[in-house]
């Protein structure tokens, strides 16, 4: 840190010298801005270090050299990190957790959006993306299975940008553009993209093309940063993501109910749709002094989801009910983080967090009246008593708050040994009212510059996502086709966790690094989410107890033009006794789970990924072939014997992608031009991500079949 301060002070003395050398004044001023921005970035990173946690980074070069390049979405990027499992609807699981991911931009929390299909963040806005897992330091709270931090560009931006087009199989059209530059101390960056294709949601059948699966998605992002002095700056950034999704159909389904005398319906003609909207904004003031560094950042986020059923009544003919649902959430708050250098051996870090969230949910359900009788064996039989529908509206709203504060000390015990220890205190007032003091400790030992050991413990507190918590009773649906077998549900609670993690990283050869990490988690009120009902928005529930463990092995090699990496992970997660939202489940499921640990539906035993690229200088510029793969052992499914919930497992799968890009160095209009060609799922494997069975699983989803894509991009 002192070295950076010294460099800044030397550089900032440049303008006085520049008075006598006018030809260099512009270059010197630009250099001052660069050094100041780098110093402020270093200070910001020093406020929020991931000491003792496991961190996996994708820098801009790596992002550009992946299959799909700048047009690859965030899910596809994250699947190449260790211990990240693929799921349907664009979801990923880190270390076999369901959700529980925290998204940050430049270290600032952006409250999560309502779960759906669309992705809020576009990787093209990031100069680097970091996935942080393990026993997180005390500054990381609430969502703790993984922190995804997108760092934007910094320094004095050169005036320029790019414009590109990417498209191909399944009607894919994806134009995009960025613009960046600086004027004085002010930097700006803007990004926009549009995506249209015929595979917005995973195909529920194994066919090459889905039925009724068109999507249109819009994303925009803006960033402004002004270095108001050599020790402080103001940053403002925000974005929007809007997605329109058709819900894909499964042909050949059998109608189950009579609607006004109509008992037939072609399931391939269903017309269900979902619209998702997210807007977010952040303003941050940062100060970087000799001993005290701090950043204060107010934020706001609005998110909404609207599911519309088939307008011709197809939903109610097949399911017995039809839901038109609207969910919205407005969250705003403040995050403040600081560090203070007490001495050469001790650095204190402390901060506060506040969030106020107002959520609304309105579900209008069309249902049929029913009567329940017993068959000769004493089993209940539900019979539709009228073919005329009844409308029931369930509306609710809630305002809730999160409060948090933390204090920790980074103690340099010796030049090779660092202990980072502290605690955070969190309070949630929403559908649940709970609080917890969470101690954290990480020990990092570096006996040499090539070897690093770490071991840590973290107590975590994870409130349920307020925007997804529903009603605690379904009594209003009694004697209808939407009646639950269990007419009540206890409130969803916050998850509490003891987390242990240890690992080692070793540089074996120049450019070759390997890492091994192991973890164990003990959980109370384990949070999980499932799809219940026709709307494709997940709902949370708790297992009373749970545990998870895993081991990750990773390696990467970078030497000259060659870059290779590979990861493999082994793990599992289990839970016992469902203690909230019981109305989502059948009585026999609850009875078994009450006395037995079962796999959570998203638990996968083996996960692997890897890939690489090589940069070849040719007469035109650089030619970059790239490839990657993903292996999954299969998520959980229904027990073939029909006894153990989630007692089965889907078949394993292996997919590979290949791409090649030609980047031109010139002359003339060719300078800055890049063209690329990609093949996804090269071997055209048809594989299941979900088969529609298991606890909280609503429908089958297949991975995308082979696709051919091409793109062109011009940097100016």
- How many CA atoms are closer than 13 Å to the CA of 54, on its beta-carbon side? 29
Q: What pLDDT, on a 0 to 100 scale, did the predictor assign at position 470?
A: 64
> Which of these ranges, 127-131, 436-440, 470-474, 479-483, has the smallest mean pLDDT?
470-474
Question: What's the mean pLDDT in 228-256?
Answer: 93
Angle at 88 between CA 84 and CA 93, to 5 degrees: 25
d(CA 587, CA 175): 50
Please tell me the predicted confidence (pLDDT) of residue 57: 92
Element containing residue 43 per DSSP (H, E) = helix 25-47
Whether residue 543 is predicted with pLDDT greater than 70 in this model: the reply is: yes
For residue 11, pLDDT beyond 60: no
C-alpha distances in angstroms, 379 versus 212, 375, 382, 488? 38, 5, 10, 21
DSSP state of 212: S
**Residue 16 above 70 pLDDT?**
no
Q: List, in sequence order, every residue forming a beta bridge with 463; answer none if it has no partner.
A: none
Please write the tens of the pLDDT for every residue from 608-639: 999 999 999 998 999 999 999 999 999 999 99
**Above 60 in pLDDT, residue 403?**
yes
Q: What tokens does 105 get?
A: 């931009």
In the prediction, which pLDDT does 348 show? Answer: 97
Task: Render pLDDT for 691-702 as a digit per residue (tens, 0 to 9).
Answer: 988 887 778 899
Residue 477 contacts by C-beta under 8 Å, 6 or more apart in sequence? 365, 367, 392, 483, 484
Kindly state the average pLDDT of the residues 185-210. 93
Answer whether 593's CB lies under 8 Å from 542's CB.
no
Residues near 13 by Cβ (< 8 Å), separated by ≥ 6? none
Q: How far apart are CA 477 and CA 484, in angstroms?
A: 8
pLDDT given at position 29: 52
Q: Among 398, 461, 473, which Cα is nearest to 429's?
A: 398
CA distances to 127, 191, 192, 245, 566 from 241, rounded to whole Å, are 19, 12, 10, 13, 32
Backbone angles phi, psi at 157, to 5 degrees: -70, 130
Q: For residue 141, is it left (φ>0), alpha (ψ between -120 and 50) or beta?
A: beta
Position 88 scores a pLDDT of 87
334 contacts 354 by C-beta, under 8 angstroms = yes
Does residue 73 register a pLDDT over 60?
yes
21: pLDDT strictly greater than 60: no
Give 237-277 as a DSSP string: EEEEEEEEEEPP--TTPPP-S-BTTB----GGG---EEEEE
N residues, the chain: 716
Question: 379 or 469, which is more confident?
Answer: 379
Residue with tokens 């969910």: 327
Q: Greater confidence, 487 or 711?
A: 711
pLDDT range class, residue 115, cuts 50, 70, 90: low
pLDDT tens-digit readout, 142-154: 999 999 999 887 6
Q: Which tokens hold the place of 325? A: 């649902």
Cβ–Cβ < 8 Å for 552, 517: yes
pTM tops 0.85, yes or no: yes
d(CA 102, CA 288): 25
Look at residue 144 and give its three-state secondary structure.
coil
Domain boundaries, the chain: 48-715
pLDDT tops 50 at residue 13: no
Could you tell me which of 187, 185, 210 has the C-alpha nearest to residue 200?
Answer: 210
Note the Cα 241 to chain centre separation in Å. 14
State pLDDT tens for residues 284-342.
Answer: 999 999 999 999 999 999 999 999 999 999 999 999 999 999 999 999 999 999 999 99
For the chain, give the mean pLDDT. Answer: 90
Q: In this structure, what token pair is assigned to residue 113?
A: 């959006």
What does DSSP say about strands 636-637 and 621-632: parallel, antiparallel, or unpaired?
A: unpaired
What pLDDT does 32 receive? 65
pLDDT at 381 over 90: no
Determine the average pLDDT of the residues in 636-646. Answer: 92
Q: What pLDDT sits at residue 459?
A: 98
Pairing of strands 101-105, 146-151: parallel
Which token pair is 390?
A: 């009844």
Q: pLDDT (tens digit, 9 = 90+) per residue, 409-467? A: 999 999 999 999 999 999 999 999 999 999 999 999 999 999 999 999 999 999 998 87
Interval 572-592: pLDDT, tens? 999 999 999 998 898 999 999
Neighbours of 607 (CB within 10 A): 25
Longest dimension (CA), the chain: 104
Rounded CA-CA distance 604/609 in Å is 14
Residue whose structure tokens are 């897992």: 133
Q: CA 97, CA 497: separation in Å to the nearest integer?
A: 12
Q: Could you give the percent of the chain with pLDDT greater than 70? A: 93
CB 533 within 8 A of CB 560: no
- What does the CA dihedral 225, 227, 231, 235 come to, rounded to 10 degrees? -20
Q: What class is the 48-715 domain? A: mainly beta
**CA separation for the pair 361, 237 (Å, rounded):** 29
**HEC string for 573-625:** EEEEEECCCHHHCCHHHHHHHHHCCEECCCCCCEEEEEEEEECEECCCEEEEE
Please determine, for residue 679, whether its predicted confidence score (pLDDT) is greater than 90: yes
What spatial distance separates the first Cα and last Cα of the chain, rounded to whole Å?
35
Query: What are the residues facing 18 on neighbouring strands?
Result: none
Provide the 3-class DSSP secondary structure of residue 152.
coil
Torsion of CA 686, 692, 693, 697, to 10 degrees: 120
Residue 205 near residue 196 (C-beta atoms within 8 A): no
**How high is the pLDDT of residue 44?**
82
215-236: average pLDDT:
93
- Tokens 């975590």, residue? 460
């Amino acid at each position: 840190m002192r070295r950076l301060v010294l460099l800044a002070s030397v550089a900032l003395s440049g303008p006085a010298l520049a008075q006598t050398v006018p030809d260099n004044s512009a270059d010197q001023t630009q250099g001052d801005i660069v050094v100041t921005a780098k110093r402020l970035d270093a200070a910001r990173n020093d406020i929020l270090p991931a000491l003792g946690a496991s961190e996996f980074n994708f820098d801009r070069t790596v992002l550009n050299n992946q299959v799909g390049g700048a047009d690859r979405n965030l899910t596809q990027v994250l699947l190449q990190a260790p211990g990240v499992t693929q799921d349907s609807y664009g979801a990923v699981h880190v270390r076999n957790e369901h959700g529980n991911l925290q998204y940050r931009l430049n270290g600032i929390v952006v409250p999560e959006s309502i779960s759906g299909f669309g992705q809020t963040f576009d990787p093209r806005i990031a100069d680097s993306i970091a996935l942080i897992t393990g026993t997180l330091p005390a500054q990381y709270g609430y969502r703790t299975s993984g922190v995804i931090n997108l760092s934007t560009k910094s320094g004095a931006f050169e005036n320029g940008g790019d414009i590109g087009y990417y498209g191909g199989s399944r009607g894919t059209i994806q134009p995009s553009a960025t613009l960046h530059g600086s004027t004085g101390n002010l930097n700006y960056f803007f990004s926009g993209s549009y995506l249209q294709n015929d595979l917005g949601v995973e195909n529920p059948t194994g066919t090459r093309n889905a039925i009724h699966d068109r999507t249109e998605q819009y994303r925009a992002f803006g960033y402004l940063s002004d270095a108001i002095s050599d020790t402080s700056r103001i940053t403002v950034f925000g974005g929007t993501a809007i997605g329109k999704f058709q819900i894909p159909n499964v042909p050949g389904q059998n109608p189950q109910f009579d609607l006004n005398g109509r008992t037939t319906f072609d399931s391939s003609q269903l017309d269900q749709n979902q619209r998702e909207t997210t807007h977010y904004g952040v303003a941050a003031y940062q100060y970087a002094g000799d001993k005290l560094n701090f950043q204060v950042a107010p934020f706001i986020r609005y998110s909404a989801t609207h599911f519309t059923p088939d307008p011709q009544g197809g939903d109610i003919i097949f399911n017995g009910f039809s839901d038109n649902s609207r969910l919205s959430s407005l969250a705003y708050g403040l995050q403040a983080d600081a560090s203070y250098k007490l001495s050469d051996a001790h650095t204190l870090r402390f901060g506060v967090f506040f969030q106020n969230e107002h959520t609304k949910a309105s579900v209008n359900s069309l249902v049929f009246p029913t009567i329940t009788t017993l068959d000769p064996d004493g089993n209940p039989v539900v019979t539709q008593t009228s073919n005329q529908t009844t409308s029931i509206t369930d509306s609710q709203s809630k305002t809730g708050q999160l409060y948090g504060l933390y204090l920790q000390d980074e103690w340099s015990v010796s030049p090779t040994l660092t202990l980072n220890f502290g605690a955070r205190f969190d309070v949630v007032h929403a559908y649940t009212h709970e609080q917890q003091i969470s101690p954290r400790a990480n020990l990092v030992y570096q006996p040499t510059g090539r070897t690093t050991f770490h071991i840590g413990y973290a107590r975590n507190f994870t409130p349920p996502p307020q925007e997804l918590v529903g009603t605690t009773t379904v009594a209003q649906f009694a004697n209808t086709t939407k009646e639950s077998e269990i007419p009540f549900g206890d409130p969803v609670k916050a998850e509490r966790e003891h987390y242990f993690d240890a690992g080692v990283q070793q540089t074996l050869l120049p450019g070759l690094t390997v890492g091994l990490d192991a973890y164990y988690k003990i959980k109370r009120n384990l949070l999980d989410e499932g799809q219940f009902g026709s709307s494709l928005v997940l709902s949370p529930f708790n297992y009373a107890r749970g545990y998870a463990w895993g081991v990750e092995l990773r390696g990467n090699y970078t030497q000259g033009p060659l870059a290779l990496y590979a990861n493999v992970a082994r793990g599992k997660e289990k839970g016992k006794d469902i203690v909230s939202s019981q109305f989502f489940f059948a009585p026999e499921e609850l009875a078994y789970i009450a006395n037995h640990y079962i796999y959570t539906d998203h638990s996968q035993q083996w996960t692997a990924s890897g890939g690489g690229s090589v940069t070849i200088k040719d007469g035109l510029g650089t030619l970059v072939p790239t490839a990657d793969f993903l292996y999954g052992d299969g998520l959980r499914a229904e027990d073939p014997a029909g006894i153990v919930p989630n007692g089965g497992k889907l078949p394993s799968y292996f997919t590979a992608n290949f791409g090649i890009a030609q980047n031109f160095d010139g002359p003339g209009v060719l300078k800055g031009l890049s063209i690329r060609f990609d093949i996804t799922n090269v071997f055209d494997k048809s594989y299941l991500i979900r088969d529609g069975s298991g606890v909280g699983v609503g429908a089958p989803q297949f991975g995308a079949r082979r696709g051919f894509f091409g793109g062109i991009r011009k940097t100016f």
